[in-house]
Structure 1
């Protein structure tokens, strides 16, 4: 048993390493930005050693603490509440080990994170009523065996926003220094909510043509391309062969869609094996877990034959059909615990290492076939470490709910860096009010808009609103993706957000219909009214005399008769835009 302590501004942490074997522990503390980083190595004196458990324990006084940011968890569920107790599992393919105790303004009071999550961790927090403290325990899930083990502990009590702090932590783990090619940040069309598994080659080719005309540049063929079954289960996954009844000539189909100027991306869940797939009987001995109610099992990522099988099938799809990428799904469904199935051999110590091997091979495969392969990862397995492999993170499924889409996009933006963040596909029911369609796009504006409606059956108004927002996004893509992003939080909710780059700013109002323009020093501002009010109150001496116009997605531009007076209530209308220029 080895132990060492960490002290950051009077907050004490104990680190325990339960080892079997003769080891030496070396640690070094350095200051990296706002974080104290404790790098440590456990090294065997002879042969291999076993690290049975790695634990970190600390307590923090409940002073100006009103919530917890755990950005790796879906919906960041404790933003506005301090729970009696929570327990979170963080591993390489599910969440990530970082949290911040925050106040009502979203300002950090105490944050802690780990550098490498491959052995998997449980993060447990709870009230200690007697001492009026909040206790945090982080403990490893899997043991480690080898000659050396390394990790890093990130700690800070700096008072900055949880958003900025998460971004800084993420860039310590992996920093994507340069943006990806422009097309990676282009609007995306996805088939899922529009058609689910009811796919037809000729219909989708007409949809793709329309998508190209409307300004989309990426086309995602979602689940259903490999089976006639439309019962929303996964019984036939795993063979990954195109269903000829739906796509009589898939190679021609992909070529035709690409000729419209679209990148073609295919949905795949590489570790999924349907119980009715042709190869199920042969590969069932390689399974590590199952979802019987949905008709599939998960293949073991620690097995070399499974790694080879996945790469071979994805390579065949890429080469046979000249695809531009994959929408990779269900990675979070792989359990973090070491596989206990004795029917097959393992080539890695734990599942995370196996998944990492597979993703590295997919990335290498992409580079050998395409200069840039699109790889979309869903929110549940988006993390700082996954920035090494993904080319885009996507907000988790939230059909029809633009508020939830907004929340999820902004949480993803806190650690995505320069990686594109796709909205969950924007979808609305036929007959939806135009201003609600606009609010879908306003809520997704700080991500890359992904849409999934039947483009062939849009009303004139729906199409005009949609074209307006796609054009707005394209014209302001630079500031929206690469500008400095400032989300405003109050009581655990994002009430507004704005991005600034060079001489332009884009402001989105959500639950508040007012904004102080003096917060921004630019020559041009767009203010998007995603609130429930038609009137928006603006004040700011910096923009005295500036010209004001209202942009309506349906009616076009309506110029106001007078210049900005410094404090005005503007009747902009729900879902519309105020444009102010000096």
Structure 2
């Protein structure tokens, strides 16, 4: 449909905009005009624009001596929300164009967003590939015209560098258009999955904090292996005798011998039980009590409340020290990898920084040097990054990405997993370690695990100290996840209503459909042929199942939150709605009677 409204004003009010350099229209052709898409940019060199598919453009700019500034405008008719990825990002708002801009670097966030319309259709999807350069984005509704604007400023780029912009006004569904944009941003699906990167993880942090010992880790090993965990992350505390929760001991990266007298021996014992091991490393910190403070390492600024300073990756000697210590930690202990934590601290702006060079670009170089050094030792390591440093410019060095810290927040875990899977397709996405209160019910434990069902579960509880009910819930949902892992992680992901924090999420492959409900919403059975449908119930109401096809007979099995089979029958589903008596935290499996029964759970 042709947009017959008068064009938006060439400029509109935002704080400080009257001092900005003028922008000129960038022609995209008649198709863009018909769909109301307009693009403006500050004067640059030649601009290359190509329509990659119907309603999808890639525009390439060359930077000049001044920051590159871009403005994208689209009609906001039927708009519901402005989506951008992240477990803490607001998902149910349309911000004003004069709102505060968000700064993004390769270590903090993604310049990526979508204006969503009703029924999960997209009005605009945009992404910017500016490498490791700092990007400021102000996105919001233009009051004067009811247009939606995305205003981008790219800073710190050298003249002549290429910046790519993707604009999608195809109107495709959210679940299709957004991951396609993620693939464009990271230039494909990424490298093959590293062995172990999609294995469930037992992390020591929430149940042990810094009071972690080799004995405590080994005590979990047999139970972890029996439950199907494949990786153990030995988190903060292995390098210090302090329990003060600070980072004063960071920087030496040697085990506290009183706690870990034989780190290589521990890792060998875990490996004998089928468990890989990763060490936590607080990468940027040089603790005030670390021996490495005598090594004349360069620092950028002091984190006084954390009892540590932040190293300067622009200094060659400092960077080489970190590379050597992390390589030796992996090689000498026989570890399978490292959790490189707090990388975003390298990107913190520092007033009156004397160096003109970007610490973000230097961190990218540091990560390349770490991976090269470990690879030179013949090791293909597991490397975990977490939000907010998930940008492809640095995320390409990670074998897994993890939702940011959200202890006991099942909803935040769910949102973060889905957002990262959409924004970084092909990369294993892990939950923040799942924990629960000691008196939580089996149903609540099941809710936590179902909220992480479409990612790789990390768990942080004392496995050997669990009461029977939560232990049963953990064991059952770990079996479900392992049994259906291929569909959950590699089937087509179909999240619904991002503006409602994904109350329904499904994944399907050729003949299996798995759906989880997190609110009292109806579940619609797929119309295409299917062999199995699984419905995970993380709400306190029984699911209303809608069958839009012809009446059918199904084999129906229902388990409660503890994995106890509470119903088995041949059921008749009418064409229309049916209520399945699935307990809160439980699971229903529907299968065709003329097929073999599903796997034992």
1:80–1:104 contact (8 Å) kept in structure 2: no
Alpha-carbon spacing, 1:110–1:500, altered in 2? closer, same or farther (3 Å): same
Distance 2:261 2:108 in 1: 37
Matched, 1:68 2:82: yes
Matched, 1:421 2:429: yes
Could you report, residue by residue, the CA deviation over 1:369-415 in whole angstroms, capped at 9, with x for unpaired residues?
A: 34531111102111233442111111111111111111111111112
What's the secondary structure of 2:526's corresponding residue?
Answer: helix
Matched, 1:578 2:599: no
User: Match for 2:239 among 215, 223, 226?
Assistant: 226
Name the count of aligned residue pairs: 561
Alpha-carbon spacing, 1:328–1:163, altered in 2? closer, same or farther (3 Å): farther
Could you report, residue by residue, the CA deviation over 1:65-101 in whole angstroms, capped at 9, with x for unpaired residues?
A: 2321121x44231434434624211111111212222
2:105–2:347 contact (8 Å) kept in structure 1: no
User: Match for 2:308 among 296, 311, 321?
Assistant: 296
User: Match for 1:30 among 29, 42, 50?
Assistant: 50
2:190–2:427 contact (8 Å) kept in structure 1: no
Matched, 1:16 2:26: no
Alpha-carbon spacing, 1:452–1:65, altered in 2? closer, same or farther (3 Å): same
Please give the TM-score of this superposition, normalised by the length of structure 1: 0.91
Match of 1:22 in 2: none
Distance 1:353 1:161 in 2: 35
Please give the TM-score of this superposition, normalised by the length of structure 2: 0.88
Distance 1:95 1:519 in 2: 38
Match of 1:112 in 2: 126
Segment drifting more, 525-534 vs 95-104: 95-104
What's the secondary structure of 2:137's corresponding residue?
Answer: strand
Matched, 1:98 2:124: no
Distance 1:296 1:520 in 2: 58
**In the TM superposition, what is the alpha-carbon distance from 1:32 to its structure 2 partner?**
2.5
Match of 2:330 in 1: 318
Could you report, residue by residue, the CA deviation over 1:269-293 in whole angstroms, capped at 9, with x for unpaired residues?
A: 2222122222235446x22233221
1:513–1:537 contact (8 Å) kept in structure 2: no
Matched, 1:194 2:215: no
- What 5-or-longer segments of structure 1 have no aligned partner? 19-24, 43-49
1:171–1:384 contact (8 Å) kept in structure 2: no
Segment drifting more, 105-114 vs 570-579: 105-114
**In the TM superposition, what is the alpha-carbon distance from 1:166 to its structure 2 partner?**
2.6
Distance 2:454 2:369 in 1: 31
User: Match for 1:362 among 360, 366, 370?
Assistant: 370
**In the TM superposition, what is the alpha-carbon distance from 1:322 to its structure 2 partner?**
0.7
User: Match for 1:85 among 88, 99, 124?
Assistant: 99
Could you report, residue by residue, the CA deviation over 1:512-569 in whole angstroms, capped at 9, with x for unpaired residues?
A: 3421103553111111011121354443436711111102343522334441323421
Matched, 1:166 2:192: no
**In the TM superposition, what is the alpha-carbon distance from 1:489 to its structure 2 partner?**
0.6
Alpha-carbon spacing, 1:530–1:520, altered in 2? closer, same or farther (3 Å): farther
User: Match for 2:452 among 406, 425, 444?
Assistant: 444
User: Match for 2:493 among 485, 488, 513?
Assistant: 485
2:87–2:403 contact (8 Å) kept in structure 1: no
1:528–1:577 contact (8 Å) kept in structure 2: yes
2:194–2:399 contact (8 Å) kept in structure 1: no
Distance 1:501 1:86 in 2: 42
Distance 1:494 1:103 in 2: 15
What's the secondary structure of 1:204's corresponding residue?
Answer: helix
Alpha-carbon spacing, 1:275–1:439, altered in 2? closer, same or farther (3 Å): same
Alpha-carbon spacing, 1:379–1:519, altered in 2? closer, same or farther (3 Å): farther
User: Match for 1:382 among 390, 397, 418?
Assistant: 390
Match of 1:5 in 2: 26
Match of 1:156 in 2: 168
Distance 2:590 2:538 in 1: 17
Distance 1:294 1:177 in 2: 35
Alpha-carbon spacing, 1:6–1:366, altered in 2? closer, same or farther (3 Å): farther
Matched, 1:530 2:532: no
**In the TM superposition, what is the alpha-carbon distance from 1:323 to its structure 2 partner?**
0.8
User: Match for 1:565 among 553, 573, 577?
Assistant: 573
Segment drifting more, 310-319 vs 120-129: 120-129
Alpha-carbon spacing, 1:384–1:169, altered in 2? closer, same or farther (3 Å): farther
Distance 2:378 2:266 in 1: 19
2:125–2:181 contact (8 Å) kept in structure 1: no
What's the secondary structure of 1:66's corresponding residue?
Answer: strand
Could you report, residue by residue, the CA deviation over 1:15-45 in whole angstroms, capped at 9, with x for unpaired residues?
A: 1157xxxxxx233212224520012335xxx
Distance 2:252 2:439 in 1: 39
Could you report, residue by residue, the CA deviation over 1:105-162 in whole angstroms, capped at 9, with x for unpaired residues?
A: 44221232211242211101344323333333211232x346x311111112121233
What's the secondary structure of 1:533's corresponding residue?
Answer: coil
**In the TM superposition, what is the alpha-carbon distance from 1:339 to its structure 2 partner?**
8.9
**In the TM superposition, what is the alpha-carbon distance from 1:306 to its structure 2 partner?**
2.1
**In the TM superposition, what is the alpha-carbon distance from 1:62 to its structure 2 partner?**
3.0
Segment drifting more, 510-519 vs 443-452: 510-519
User: Match for 2:263 among 233, 250, 261?
Assistant: 250
**In the TM superposition, what is the alpha-carbon distance from 1:324 to its structure 2 partner?**
0.4
2:190–2:396 contact (8 Å) kept in structure 1: no
Alpha-carbon spacing, 1:492–1:556, altered in 2? closer, same or farther (3 Å): closer
Could you report, residue by residue, the CA deviation over 1:419-457 in whole angstroms, capped at 9, with x for unpaired residues?
A: 111111110111211111111111000001110000110
Segment drifting more, 307-316 vs 382-391: 382-391
Matched, 1:498 2:510: no
Matched, 1:287 2:299: yes
Counting strand residues as a fraction of each chain, which structure ranks higher?
A: 1
2:92–2:500 contact (8 Å) kept in structure 1: yes
Segment drifting more, 158-167 vs 476-485: 158-167
Match of 2:345 in 1: 333
1:65–1:102 contact (8 Å) kept in structure 2: yes
Alpha-carbon spacing, 1:55–1:489, altered in 2? closer, same or farther (3 Å): same
1:534–1:573 contact (8 Å) kept in structure 2: yes
